[in-house]
Structure 1
Amino acid sequence: MTTARDVLRELEALGSEQTRKTWRRHEVPEPMFGVKYGDLGKLQKRLGRDQALAEALWQSGNHDARVLAAMIAEPAAFDVAMLRRWQAETTCYVQTDALITHVGARMAAAATAVVPWLDATTESQRRAGWVLVAHLARESNDLADSFFADLLPRIEREIHGAPNRTREAMNGTLIAIGTRSDALARLATAAARTIGPVEIDHGDTDCKTFDAVAYIAKGREHRAKQEAKAKPKPAAKPRKRDAQ
């Protein structure tokens, strides 16, 4: 049986100062080992879903352990209250994003967690809400387009005054909404043009701010191609010889 202590020792061995430097540029605080995402992905694949181990790793407080915890946690074990509790314990936006990506977006009750976070006052909670909306826009087939269309005026109204990392998430969410359907692409592109350039401080990193109008167009084109490939092909017409 793999224990949290075993995994922490393995994470420590995988860590490097170079990766720690990278994480520090992304506002990640200590404690951390500095493990690359590729190595975390290999551990995730080996460990599978393990809620008990995930909870133990999360409680360690170590950054790499928390990201891995989100990756191996069982979404079905969470309700909205538990998800909100874990998010409140995050110490940086990287942990919040991992939690939303691997747990929040895969919960059956994901949509019910959105509004309380969007109405929150803290940067971290508001970012969690918008990151969750972005995932739902890309991945959920259960929500009507109107759910996302109703949020576009709010993005227009609030994005420039939002905290930096929330602003970054809102810009990404605007793009995600725009790539969902042709109708949303038109609405989101109009919103992006009204908003204009979005200023985001990426710190000492190579990250760039995505131009929403351009990325909506690219994303919609890519998604349309994927949707076309996914459609079942019509049955081939029988040849005359076969029909006889």
Structure 2
Amino acid sequence: MTEQSTGRTQVGSQTLARGLRALLSVVESPNGVTIQQLATELGVHRSIAYRLLQTLADFGFVSQSADSFYRAGPRLATLADAYLPTLRELAIPVMREVADELGCTVSLFVANGAEAVSIELVEPTTTSHHIAFKAGMRTPINRGAAGYALLAAGPQVAGEPAEVALARERGYATSVGEIEIGCYGVAAPIPNCSPRACLNLITYREDQAKAAEASILAAARQVGEALPG
């Protein structure tokens, strides 16, 4: 994605915008990026890409490996922990209990504009066969159980998916194959939470998803009740 292809009007510092795009490129690349790859993606000269990466490395946001690839650096962990610390602290033990009980991955999603973003993930310790993905996963807010649950936590709006109204009625949302083929999702909005958030469980087994509905609903309510004020 070059700067010319974003379709967004640039406001503020172009250098800062480039630096943030460079950071996102590194973080979102499973194998990291090289200077040339970043230069191509941003549509800039190699020297500019090099300076961006070196600046990020100086601050610990990225690190360069012996293979010349730049990957996520240790300082990103500090930034992640600083985002909604109270919500995460309250949710993680509850998520871990549900994940181990049902043998499924449980994640914490928040609404971010037109997307649902996973900010925390707990994998079960009771089984080695489960779906896993990285925290930071983004999905359209109008598709999938997590998105439906987040929309259900807000007021009704014109044109929203029918699944959102059903989620408001039941207290939880479900989906099948909308984010990943063959994957079942169950999500419940966390009450009294700002920004809007939900707990989401994913599995390839229909029986696990069905059994998870009551547990996810109860877990989301438990977290909501523990939130201050």
Give TM-score scaled by structure 2 length: 0.28
Higher strand share: 2
Higher helix share: 1
Give TM-score scaled by structure 1 length: 0.27
The higher radius of gyration belongs to 1
